[in-house]
């Protein structure tokens, strides 16, 4: 703003009127330029801040996804799936049927509302063929990460999803994740899960969602 002050205080003599008008003109020019430059700087700062917040949220989402994948293996698969006696019998039979997995686990462990972060899948009903591992399995039209509570309109991912603890981070919301049971893989020796993780930045409007599909061995210890 110093040039504005110099323009305003330009020498005044016989050409006072000219200098005054010139001074006002310069002053106005610099003020407008200064305001425009401020807008550019503010816009760049906002973009920079938003970009930094998005990167921050993305990093949190990655950490949440990794933690969720580990949790799927160590807790959900080992305890809730392999820990079920019916599932154990299926696996030990040497000829596990995905339909029996679904009949046993859907509605009791993996639910439509993703209770405790465990969701029933959204799949089309396969043809009822003897060679089809998923024949006659449960149908859910809405993807797990898009399902909402009919009363509140809130996403189950954000209300019933498991929280990922972010120690010492200044976030608007704690990251959440859900695990969707997809049934037996074609080999019959492994089970498939879809993991969805969502994280927010320091700004609540900054949101990143990541997904992965993992294959876990059906091994009874």
**Residue 160: other Cβ atoms inside 10 A:** 20
Q: Which of 70-74, 144-148, 166-170 has the lowest mean pLDDT?
A: 166-170
- Cα 103 to Cα 23, 52, 139, distances in angstroms: 85, 46, 12
Q: In the predicted model, is pLDDT for residue 193 greater than 80?
A: yes
**198 pairs with which residues across the strands?**
176, 209
Q: What is the pLDDT of residue 70?
A: 96
Residue 117: partners with Cβ closer than 8 Å, 6 or more residues away: 160, 161, 162, 176, 177, 178, 179
Q: Is residue 26 one of the residues assigned to a domain?
A: no
Q: Is residue 131 one of the residues assigned to a domain?
A: yes
Residue pointed to by tokens 């679904």: 102
Q: Which is higher by pLDDT, 15 or 73?
A: 73
Q: How many domains does the chain have?
A: 1
Q: Is residue 194 one of the residues assigned to a domain?
A: yes
C-beta separation of 217 from 205 below 8 A: no
Q: If we measure between CA atoms, which residue out of 166, 165, 216, 160 comes closest to residue 189? A: 216
Q: pTM score, two decimals?
A: 0.73
pLDDT tens digit sequence for 81-133: 999 999 999 999 988 988 899 899 999 999 999 999 999 998 655 444 444 54
Q: In the predicted model, is pLDDT for residue 146 greater than 80?
A: yes
Q: In the predicted model, is pLDDT for residue 28 greater than 90?
A: no
Q: Is residue 167 one of the residues assigned to a domain?
A: yes
Q: Is residue 37 one of the residues assigned to a domain?
A: no
pLDDT band at residue 171, thresholds of 50, 70 and 90? confident
Q: Is residue 46 one of the residues assigned to a domain?
A: no
Q: Is residue 213 one of the residues assigned to a domain?
A: yes
Q: Are strands 207-217 and 162-163 parallel, antiparallel or unpaired?
A: unpaired
Q: Helix (H) and strand (E) counts for the chain?
A: 5, 5
How far apart are the C-alpha atoms of 44 and 220, rounded to whole Å? Answer: 56
Range of the domain at 144: 63-217
Q: What phi, psi does 127 have (nearest 5°)?
A: -65, 140
Q: Is residue 14 one of the residues assigned to a domain?
A: no
**216 pairs with which residues across the strands?**
191
């Amino acid at each position: 703003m110093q040039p504005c002050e110099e323009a305003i205080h330009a020498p005044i003599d016989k050409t006072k009127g000219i200098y005054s008008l010139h001074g006002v003109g310069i002053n106005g020019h610099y003020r407008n330029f200064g305001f425009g430059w401020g807008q550019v700087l503010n816009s760049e700062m906002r973009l920079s801040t938003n970009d930094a917040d998005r990167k921050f949220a993305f990093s949190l989402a990655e950490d949440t996804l990794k933690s969720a994948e580990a949790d799927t293996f160590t807790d959900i698969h080992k305890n809730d799936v392999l820990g079920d006696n019916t599932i154990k019998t299926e696996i030990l039979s040497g000829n596990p049927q995905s339909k029996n997995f679904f009949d046993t686990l859907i509605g009791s462990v993996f639910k439509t509302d993703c209770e405790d972060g465990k969701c029933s899948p959204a799949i089309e009903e396969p043809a009822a063929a003897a060679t089809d591992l998923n024949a006659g399995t449960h149908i859910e039209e809405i993807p797990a990460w898009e399902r909402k509570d009919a009363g509140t309109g809130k996403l189950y991912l954000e209300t019933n999803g498991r929280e990922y603890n972010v120690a010492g981070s200044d976030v608007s919301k704690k990251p959440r994740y859900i695990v969707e049971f997809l049934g037996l893989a074609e080999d019959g020796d492994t089970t498939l899960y879809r993991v969805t993780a969502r994280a927010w930045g320091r700004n609540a409007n900054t949101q990143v969602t990541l997904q992965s599909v993992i294959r876990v061995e059906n091994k009874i210890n």
